[in-house]
Chains A and B, each alone.
Chain A
Amino acid sequence: MSAHLETIEELAAGSGDGYKYGFVTDIEADTAPPGLTEDTVRFISAKKQEPEWLLEWRLKAFRRWQKMEQPDWARLNIAPIDYQGATYYSAPKNAEGPKSLDEVDPELLKTYEKLGIPLGERAALAGVAVDAVFDSVSVATTFKDTLAEQGIIFCSFGEAVREHPELVQKYLGTVVPQGDNFFSALNSAVFSDGSFAYIPPGVRCPMELSTYFRINAAKSGQFERTLLIADEGAYVSYLEGCTAPRRDENQLHAAVVELVALADAEIKYSTVQNWYPGDENGVGGIYNFVTKRGACRGSGSKISWTQVETGSAITWKYPSCILEGENSVGEFYSVAVTANRQQADTGTKMIHLGRNTKSTIISKGISAGHGQNTYRGAVKIMPGAEGARNYTQCDSLLIGKTCGAHAIPYIDTRNPSARVEHEATASKISDEQLFYCLQRGLTPEESVSLIVNGFCKEVLKELPMEFAVEAQKLLAVSLEGSVG
């Protein structure tokens, strides 16, 4: 710790000893200069007042990243990313948002209405300065107290580094190693902030943990880092994201999420993602390149991923489970929508290591407009996974004549007692179904929305209730204009 404090003091004193660490940037600045060098990493770490061990961890990742190349095996058309042209740190801005709801784009407000976002939350989501509107501090405090009573830790990643470094050090990078892939290495070097949760043994977290109630309410960054640990016999349900459309001037979002479930523990991780998808020509949307992985370390542990991905120009993610413990269970439920010019290459990896492990994959892809939707899934049964079972169902729905749906399943079984089932369907909304709905008085939009929700039912029912209702509305909104 002391080495780090030294750095800050010296720089503040303008002693010029910044050069001693090869660090020249003015730490008082709100924004790092564009580019990604070791300096940038040090700047970020110093800004966050991180301990030396974490700075070293970041630097290790950065040096690894420098030797890697952006992968290009996905079925995606990605415009070249200028890694040196972006800035990797900027302090949260307070003064620049709209001053009231009157200044907010009416189209955005209309969308909030369609999605059923509570009135009290709309201003905050639109970026209006929050104080007068929503007493976030007191709500968050009550929440935190209830959790603390049970020994549950739920805070920002940054706070966890300060208050619970031993937990962070024990688990960070153990599920997604720094060098796992190009984007995880990048994230490990420059991650901004994220969530941390630890559920003690035998504790069932009494409420859904949501990023909305995260203590540090800073806008979520482009490189989020999240670590959730459920100790033996614990249970937690975590919600990430929200249905409200979100914009960000930073185009690349490369988050890393690591989940650890010890014996008989269960983690339910739900995501609803509606990042700006770009205009109807696909220009300007967010690139959502995420590495999410859960380790079912203990016997009888369970990790379940549920995602509804309707936003982003490009979605590239495979929330996965490593089934180490005997009788452990991994699940993946996904609805991914690509409309206009969106692209998605998404799926999951289920790695069966332990005996009698079980995995379930239900993937629903919806393509409309010129969207291209690819399911990429891997089921790996390793030699020790005696009695492993997997069931995969991969369904695609195509709306219109110019979109595409692709399925790329990998099945690799190295144990003869394994049972792996794969079913896939590709269909379009039938004219008969549409006419049936029309004849019962539903408009063409209502009809498509109804049929699509029916198509996604198996996945939507895995979402926590309020999320499920919002997700249904979100599906309708994201397919607007795709009919006829």
Chain B
Amino acid sequence: MTKLLEVEDLHARIAGGRDILKGISLSVGAGEVHAIMGPNGAGKSTLSSVLAAKPGYEVTAGRILYDGADIAEMPADERARKGVFLAFQYPVEIPGVNNTYFLRASVNAMRRERGEPELDAAQFLKLVKKKMSLLDIKDDLLKRAVNVGFSGGEKKRNEIFQMAMLEPKLAILDETDSGLDIDALRAVSEGVNKLRDPGRAIVMITHYQRLLDYIEPDFVHVLAGGRIVASGDKSFARELEKTGYAHLERAA
């Protein structure tokens, strides 16, 4: 059975540069939680950027099959509407754009794609209240402009809140734990765990073991030198904590 996401021998680069991804193969099924770890410069952010179709990146070889279709040429907004969600490592500020307004525009874009009726302001607020209680989001986050003046923890929480609202099929969490203190990490992780679903695949990109204590993965992969050099189940992560990446990098 084809999995939700099949990455086959993917080579990719920043337009005009050299290949950063040098043959990634990955299989992620719905309902599964995968962790991708590895040293700096290995290509972890490149992978998440390429999967989300960030402009400026090129696929030079290989395929990305999502829901059975090759999406290598599909632009970012189309992929998003088909259920691909990226929780950004550094969420950008959009001054003057109210967070709730932005979220409603986004939710309605998804609903339009699925042929569902759009939500008006009142219906939308009802949905927001429901999801807010899941995640312990403070009211005032909704009144402010998107990410403007948000602390690091608030930004990451806002990303997970958006994930809750948009209900993606494939969620890519790009170093969601970076810059978070223990409490913030715990809160964000609780949120992600509540969003686990048999119809949803989650790929976490992370540097540190710590996140995996809170969000238990089904599979762990190590990305080094642009390739996946090792994979295992959740116990593999604990091993890595002891051994580090160095010996794996040499094998790459």
Taking Cβ atoms with an 8 Å cutoff, the residues of A that contact B are 430-444, 446-447, 450-451, 453-458
B251 at the interface (CB under 8 A from A): no
A430 vs B147: C-alpha distance when bound (angstroms): 15
| A442→B96 contact, CB < 8 A | no
B76 at the interface (CB under 8 A from A): yes
| Stretch of B4-12, B105-113, B128-136, B177-185 on the interface side | B105-113
A370 vs B97: C-alpha distance when bound (angstroms): 27
Beyond A450-B102, A450-B105, whether A439 also contacts B52 by CB under 8 A is: yes
| B94→A438 contact, CB < 8 A | no
| A453→B96 contact, CB < 8 A | yes
B39 at the interface (CB under 8 A from A): no
Determine the chain B residues whose CB is within 8 A of the CB of A436 once the complex forms. Answer: 88, 91-92, 94, 146
| B75→A450 contact, CB < 8 A | no
| A442→B94 contact, CB < 8 A | no
* CB-based nearest B residue for A460: B96
Beyond A451-B97, A454-B95, whether A440 also contacts B106 by CB under 8 A is: yes
| Cβ of A69 to closest chain B Cβ, rounded Å | 43
| A441→B102 contact, CB < 8 A | no
Contacts A454-B94, A455-B96, A457-B96 given; 8 further ones with Cβ under 8 A? A438-B77, A439-B85, A441-B77, A441-B80, A442-B106, A447-B77, A450-B94, A458-B96
Beyond A431-B55, A454-B145, A456-B96, whether A439 also contacts B86 by CB under 8 A is: yes
Beyond A435-B55, A436-B88, whether A441 also contacts B113 by CB under 8 A is: yes
22 A-B residue pairs with CB within 8 Å: A430-B92, A431-B56, A434-B55, A435-B55, A435-B76, A436-B92, A436-B146, A438-B77, A439-B85, A439-B88, A440-B102, A441-B81, A441-B109, A442-B109, A446-B105, A447-B77, A451-B94, A451-B97, A454-B95, A454-B96, A456-B96, A458-B96
* Bitwise interface map of B from 60 to 97 toward A, beta carbon under 8 Å scored 1, else 0: 00000000000000011100110001101001101111
A437 vs B95: C-alpha distance when bound (angstroms): 13
B238 at the interface (CB under 8 A from A): no
B54 at the interface (CB under 8 A from A): yes
A433 vs B95: C-alpha distance when bound (angstroms): 10
* CB-based nearest A residue for B108: A441
Interface of A: prevailing SS: helix
| A432→B96 contact, CB < 8 A | no
* CB-based nearest A residue for B172: A439
| A439→B92 contact, CB < 8 A | no
* CB-based nearest A residue for B80: A441
B166 at the interface (CB under 8 A from A): yes
B162 at the interface (CB under 8 A from A): yes
The winner among A432, A443, A447, A454 for most chain B CB atoms within 10 A is: A454
> Which 5 residue pairs across A and B have the least CB separation, nearest first?
A454-B96, A457-B96, A454-B97, A441-B109, A440-B106
| A440→B97 contact, CB < 8 A | no
Determine the chain A residues whose CB is within 8 A of the CB of B91 once the complex forms. Answer: 436
| A453→B166 contact, CB < 8 A | no
| Cβ of A140 to closest chain B Cβ, rounded Å | 33
Determine the chain A residues whose CB is within 8 A of the CB of B102 once the complex forms. Answer: 440, 450
| Cβ of B66 to closest chain A Cβ, rounded Å | 15
B residues 211-240 near A (Cβ < 8 Å) are: none
A454 vs B146: C-alpha distance when bound (angstroms): 10
B residues 146-186 near A (Cβ < 8 Å) are: 146, 162, 166
| Cβ of B172 to closest chain A Cβ, rounded Å | 10
* CB-based nearest A residue for B145: A454
| A455→B95 contact, CB < 8 A | yes
| Cβ of A449 to closest chain B Cβ, rounded Å | 10
Determine the chain A residues whose CB is within 8 A of the CB of B75 once the complex forms. Answer: 438
* CB-based nearest A residue for B109: A441
| Cβ of B112 to closest chain A Cβ, rounded Å | 9
* CB-based nearest B residue for A456: B96
| B80→A439 contact, CB < 8 A | yes
| A441→B110 contact, CB < 8 A | yes
| Cβ of B157 to closest chain A Cβ, rounded Å | 16
Determine the chain B residues whose CB is within 8 A of the CB of A447 once the complex forms. Answer: 77
Determine the chain B residues whose CB is within 8 A of the CB of A434 once the complex forms. Answer: 55
The winner among B54, B75, B76, B80 for most chain A CB atoms within 10 A is: B76
| Cβ of A447 to closest chain B Cβ, rounded Å | 8
Determine the chain B residues whose CB is within 8 A of the CB of A451 once the complex forms. Answer: 94, 97
Determine the chain B residues whose CB is within 8 A of the CB of A431 once the complex forms. Answer: 55-56
| B94→A440 contact, CB < 8 A | no
